[in-house]
Each structure stands twice: as C-alpha cells, then as structure tokens.
Amino acid sequence: MEAPLERLLITGIAGGQGRLVAKRVADEFDVSGVDRVPWEGHPHQIAVHNMDLRKKKFEDIFRREKPTAVVHLAFVRHFRSDPMVRHEINVAGTKRLLECCAEYGVKKLVVLSSSYVYGALPENPYYMDEETSLNVSRHYPDIRDLAEVDTLCTTFLWKYPEIATALLRPVNTLGYYVHSAIGRYLKLRYVPTVMGFNPMMQFIHEEDVAEAIARTLETGVRGVFNLVGPGSVPLKVAIRETGGRPVPLPEPLARSTVERLFRVGLYHLPSAALDFVKYPCTIDGRRFHEATKFRPIFSLEDTFSSVRH
C-alpha cells in the first residue's frame, strides 16, 4: 500500500497560474483549491471550493481537509476593482490564510509574491538580491499592498520555524493563461513607452513559475527567493518580439495621458507604473537556483511568443 499523498490546498486555483500549478502537481499531491470565482469544468479529482478567503467559513476547509501544504496565489493584481477591496483581499486575506496555516498544522507554505515589491528606482543595482528593501511604495503606492503581503509572509517565516515557508518573487511573468499586467501591456499593438528610457527587463514563462512552485513544494525549501527566467532584454526588444510597436511619449505627456485613461478605465495601469518601463527592476535569482537547482525551461524567445498576437 502506497503512502497517502500529501494534501495540498491552492488558493486562487481558478486563475491561470493556479490551474497551471494544479496541473503540474496533480500526480504528486492530493490537490484541492479555493477561489472567489468558480473554475468551470475543473478536473473531478480536484475539489474546488468557491469561497472568499475573508469569509468565516474559509477556516472550515482547513478543519475538514487538514492540508499539509498550501500554495497561496489568491491575489488581486489588477486595478479593475475598488482599491479598498483589492487591499483587503490581498492583505486581510493573506493574514487569514497565515493564521489558518499556523493553527491547523500546515507543514509547507508557498506564497507567490513578485519582484515588483523592490520597486523600479534609478539607483537600483542590476541584480537585486533578496535582502534589498521593498521600495515599491516610495513611488508606486497603488501596489503597496503587495509589499505588505510580502512583509507579512517574511514575518510569518521567522515566527514559525517549523513551517517550511517559501516566498517567491518572480520577475515579469508572461504566458497564455496568466493575465499579468505586463502581458497585457506587451499585447498592445501600440505600446506607450517613456521617451529616452529603455530599461532592461527580465521575463519568465508562466509554466516555469508553476515548475518553480512545484520544485519548492518537492524540496521543501524555506526562505525568501527571487525567481528569474532565462535572462533580460531591453523593454523595446520585448515589445518588438511580442509583435507590438513602441510609441515613445515625452514623460509628462505619458504620465498625464496614462493617468487620465486609467481614471476613466481605458487603460489598465496607473501612471506610477510607468516607473517600471523607465528604470530597471531586475533581480538576482542565484539563491533559488542554489536551493532547488531550478532552471527555466522556456527561452526568452518562447516566453515572448507566448503572448504574441
């Protein structure tokens, strides 16, 4: 008789990244998931609970299923909804989840943060390591909740040494299923850029992120890890490779245009996001590679072609 599979709970399972992770680990874990939106036609072997992390009943899942591993992907990363709701889901939701993990004996926890928490600043070194401070709120307060979540998880990591908490900070994620802001930006036919700026940017394919999460679960590593893909290119090369055309605008014009379009809902990012196409936010991924031997499978070419229109 084989040993029973480890029970894995994936939050945000209906999202593109959640589905990819579920698919990747389905043979190794007894997977269940939770999401605010339903996953139509999910595989029958995966139990999907249609629920909000902030609801009281969320704890029942932990009570009943007693997951030993958790992958936390339930974040709102877009700006379509109310910023208050976004903040609450991200911060309060994560806090709830962490409390449950501590209470119900979870052994492994993987949280998908983002390299954006370091912020895009002119004085950034090219390869920021995990000790770099989280500077994003300095110029881009709209996503400070992501930095808060990141900090919550690092605190949790040190508070509960018996739980193998891993916090992954991936670079710009591109792919067919994951709807990332950068993916949406690169899919535009005419891509607004800031005139006179063309920072180096790192990219990773969505399936490599799923692979990295799976590798983290398999190895049970603990700590904060930058997650990098196959390398970096200047923004304009990325735009060209994904089939777009850069439209350089003088900075004041770019900022005011983007801000206005964002306010009326015609553009998906606030103007502060322009810093990320102005200054580098590139990171050093050696620590994760050394801990898990992870190497991305997808080349830069593959990664770009996954969002080409």
Partner 1 sequence: MSDAPKEEPTPKPGKHPARRARTQASARRPPRQSPAIDASAPAIERAFGLGPGGIPSEREPDVLADSLDGLQSLAGGILESLAPRFVRDLNHEIRDRLAKAPLELNNYGYDPWGLNVDVARRTLLVFALFYKYYFRVKAYGLEHLPRGRMLVIANHAGQIAIDACMIGTATVLEADPPRPLRGMGEYWLPTLPFFNVFMARVGGVVGTPKNCIDILHHDEAVIAFPEGVRGMNKPFRDRYKLQEFGNGFMRLALQTNTPIVPVAVVGSEEQAISLGNNAPLAALLSMPAFPMVLNAFPLPTRYHIYFGEPMEFRGNPNDEDEVIVKKVEQVKARIHDMIQRGLRQRRSIFF
Query: Which residues of the shown chain bind partner 1 in the complex (CB under 8 A)?
Result: 19-20, 22-23, 26, 39-43, 122-129, 176-177, 194-198, 200, 202, 205, 207, 226, 228-234, 237, 240, 243, 245, 251, 279, 284-286, 289, 295, 297-302, 305-309
Among residues 93 and 285, whose Cβ is nearest to partner 1? 285
Minimum distance from residue 35 beta carbon to partner 1 (Å):
12
Least Å distance, CB 240 to partner 1, is 8
Q: Which is nearer to partner 1, 165 or 303 (CB)?
A: 303
**C-beta of 152 vs 233, nearer to partner 1:** 233
**Residue 188 CB, nearest approach to partner 1 (Å):** 15
Show the beta-strand stretches assigned E in 51-163: 69-72, 108-112
Closer to partner 1 at the Cβ: 165 or 198? Answer: 198
Element of type H or E holding 159: helix 144-159
Distance CA 90, CA 76 (A): 6
Residues 89/11, Cβ–Cβ less than 8 Å: no
CB-based burial label for 190 (10 Å; 0-12, 13-18, 19+):
exposed
Q: Helix 93-103 to helix 58-65 angle, to the nearest 10 degrees?
A: 20
Q: Could you give the 3-state DSSP secondary structure of residue 50?
A: strand
**What HEC string does 89-115 produce?**
HHHHHHHHHHHHHHHCCCCEEEEECCH
* Closest to partner 1 by CB, 12 or 285: 285
Question: Least separation, in Å, of the C-beta of 13 and partner 1?
Answer: 10
How many angstroms separate the Cα of 8 from the Cα of each of 65, 68, 80, 282, 294? 9, 6, 30, 31, 21
Q: How far is CA 65 from the centre of its chain?
A: 26
Q: Which is nearer to partner 1, 94 or 306 (CB)?
A: 306
> Which residue's CB is nearer to partner 1, number 47 or number 102?
47
Neighbouring CB atoms inside 10 A of 2's CB total 4
From the CB of 40, what's the least distance to partner 1, in Å?
7
Tokens of 290: 């050394």
Instruction: Report the SS3 class of residue 170.
Output: strand
Whether the CA torsion 257, 259, 263, 268 is positive or negative: it is positive
Q: Closest distance between partner 1 and the C-beta of residue 207, in Å? A: 5
Between 90 and 115, name the residue whose CB sits nearer to partner 1: 115
Minimum CB–partner distance for residue 276 and partner 1 (Å)? 14
Closest contact distance (angstroms) between CB of 76 and partner 1 is 21
